Structure 1
């Protein structure tokens, strides 16, 4: 990325991109008049009560099934891994070695979808592309979601997946936590949990548009609540009230922005300039600044939510963002190699 106005604030480096390319500029109004209207209608129905919410959550989950036809990109190898409560899969391509044998470096990836959508099939092309660009295998996790499981149980699955990598010989300093939207927030929450439990931390964290605050107050007050091309203003708040809050109570500890980030590894956060979740990304930046955690925050002009990476197959801006994430992965892991050699 060629930053237009980079500046350093303590340990936080903020990069504001230049003008969006034509594909990104076109995608914004198209998504706003199509996908967002569909999501807005679903949020309205779900907010009619517990029954409609449960129905909408389950119907949304069913959207993963048709994605099975997508398959893996040509040249990508896949190996499923089955846990008691969830599934995962390895994805890798040449020149990356089989991670079941080499067991060197890996990306631990958590998909987005507001804890009600997304999965291995719909994300396979994205995770495979990210792994290929990073020259790393990806361990993609299909964690449990609403309405059958609370995000606290999603966190349990994330922790089990990380422990699986450690138990199979992957050194923590050779692992990168990654994810987008709800999965980005889950990756951050996993890092905090790992730290608090005294487990070894990964080399770094790379997230896109992380949903890091379940309290919608700051997000709804931000100007981007009216500008987002994908997320309707009431969407995340509806999921919180109808699925995440328990008996109407939202525990502040479930939101990563309410924690001290001291001791966390270096991070890359990528977010669109007109996204609702820019508010969450800026709060993550504040926590990093307070804790002196190295952070590179990229704010990409007009990039729609999640399409910063998921649209890399179609949008040049998406390809740039994916390339920047891959560069971060390689740099972080090379630094880990240097540190081990010196030690």
Structure 2
């Protein structure tokens, strides 16, 4: 049974959908509203922030710097927002909570967004920042984890695949919260959870998919993540709520990854809505999920 705090998130999503659930999505309105919605976490204590210019960003990225955190380990955090919204500012507190629990710093980047920039520009931006962390900032790939939510969860895998295909060393770990992988919307949870998901609607999502994908083929390996060969990618922590239509995205990606001999930790949290971890510091389910993700990251990066 969801906690009182998580039920409040459901109510907020219901109100949002009165304005954002239409087929013809007002992207400017969506960006404004989601900027506020993604800020429902508490402010984590003993964390400072710094802006930094780096490759792969439109606006400055944000360093999240917990006190006493390892300076040699970093989480590259990729915000959600359907590839069309979200920013380092909107996800600053969520990334900081995760970094603090993992005992390292985090970097949140402002990758290019659709429809102004479509696939694969977002992946290119993540790869550019990842390469910068290694070549210019001196981080070892074994001490870098990719983490993200929703569309950002997609980027943790698609960018890792792009890195691998370029012949570069992949990061030490992936952590994806409510990840969105299924560009064909074929997962059974689209029907099974249609009445319990308070935010994501199939009709609206189909428009978002076209906005991101454009004229690219869904057979592209970085779009067809549920079926493409993932061999060589890092260990993965994947988590989804059992009330969200994207539940099977995590389940099916886990099956594909395991078929290619990848270590996967799959966590399905009963009754949770899309990206419940946004409630970090405010809801027990969010804190527990982040704690498990942080433990996974720590083990894979040897912090």
Q: TM-score, normalised by structure 1?
A: 0.80
Gaps of 5+ in 1: 1-18, 47-55, 338-343
Higher Cα Rg, which structure? 1
Q: Distance in 2 between matches of 1:150 and 1:220?
A: 26
Q: Distance in 2 between matches of 1:28 and 1:68?
A: 11
Residue in structure 1 matched with residue 50 of structure 2 by the alignment: 79
Q: Deviations over 1:95-126 (max 9, x none)?
A: 125xxxx4x11001100000111111111111
Q: CA deviation at 1:69?
A: 10
Gaps of 5+ in 2: none
Q: Distance in 1 between matches of 2:260 and 2:197?
A: 30
Residue in structure 2 matched with residue 6 of structure 1 by the alignment: none
Note if 1:95 corresponds to 2:68.
yes
Q: Deviations over 1:245-299 (max 9, x none)?
A: 434x643212322311111111100110111111211110111121111101000
Task: Give 1:140-151 correspondences, 5 Å limit.
Answer: 140-151=108-119
Q: Distance in 2 between matches of 1:205 and 1:73?
A: 22
Task: Give 1:232-247 correspondences, 5 Å limit.
Answer: 232-241=201-210, 243-247=211-215
Residue in structure 1 matched with residue 186 of structure 2 by the alignment: 217
Q: Which one has a larger percent helix, Structure 1 or Structure 2?
A: 1
Q: Distance in 2 between matches of 1:44 and 1:63?
A: 17
Q: Deviations over 1:47-76 (max 9, x none)?
A: xxxxxxxxx223323447769999975532
3-state secondary structure, aligned to 2:226: helix
Task: Give 1:49-128 correspondences, 5 Å limit.
Answer: 56-63=26-33, 73-83=44-54, 85-86=57-58, 87-96=60-69, 102=71, 104-128=72-96
How many pairs are equivalent?
297
Shift in alpha-carbon separation, 1:170–1:245, aligned structure 2, 3 A: closer
Note if 1:33 corresponds to 2:1.
no
Residue in structure 2 matched with residue 333 of structure 1 by the alignment: 301
Residue in structure 2 matched with residue 252 of structure 1 by the alignment: 219
Residue in structure 2 matched with residue 49 of structure 1 by the alignment: none
3-state secondary structure, aligned to 2:229: coil
3-state secondary structure, aligned to 2:68: coil
**2:282 equivalent among 310, 314, 330:** 314
Q: Distance in 2 between matches of 1:69 and 1:285?
A: 29
Residue in structure 2 matched with residue 161 of structure 1 by the alignment: 129
Residue in structure 2 matched with residue 23 of structure 1 by the alignment: 5
Q: Deviations over 1:286-332 (max 9, x none)?
A: 1112111110100000111011x111221111111111111111111
Shift in alpha-carbon separation, 1:155–1:317, aligned structure 2, 3 A: same
- Contact 2:280 2:287 (8 Å CA) reproduced: yes
- Contact 1:72 1:78 (8 Å CA) reproduced: no
**1:287 equivalent among 239, 256, 275:** 256
3-state secondary structure, aligned to 1:163: helix
Q: Distance in 2 between matches of 1:148 and 1:215?
A: 22
Q: CA deviation at 1:221?
A: 4.9
Q: Distance in 1 between matches of 2:39 and 2:251?
A: 37
Segments ≥4 residues shifted beyond 6 Å: 64-72
- Contact 1:57 1:146 (8 Å CA) reproduced: no
Question: Cα RMSD over matched residues?
Answer: 2.5
3-state secondary structure, aligned to 1:44: coil
3-state secondary structure, aligned to 2:138: coil
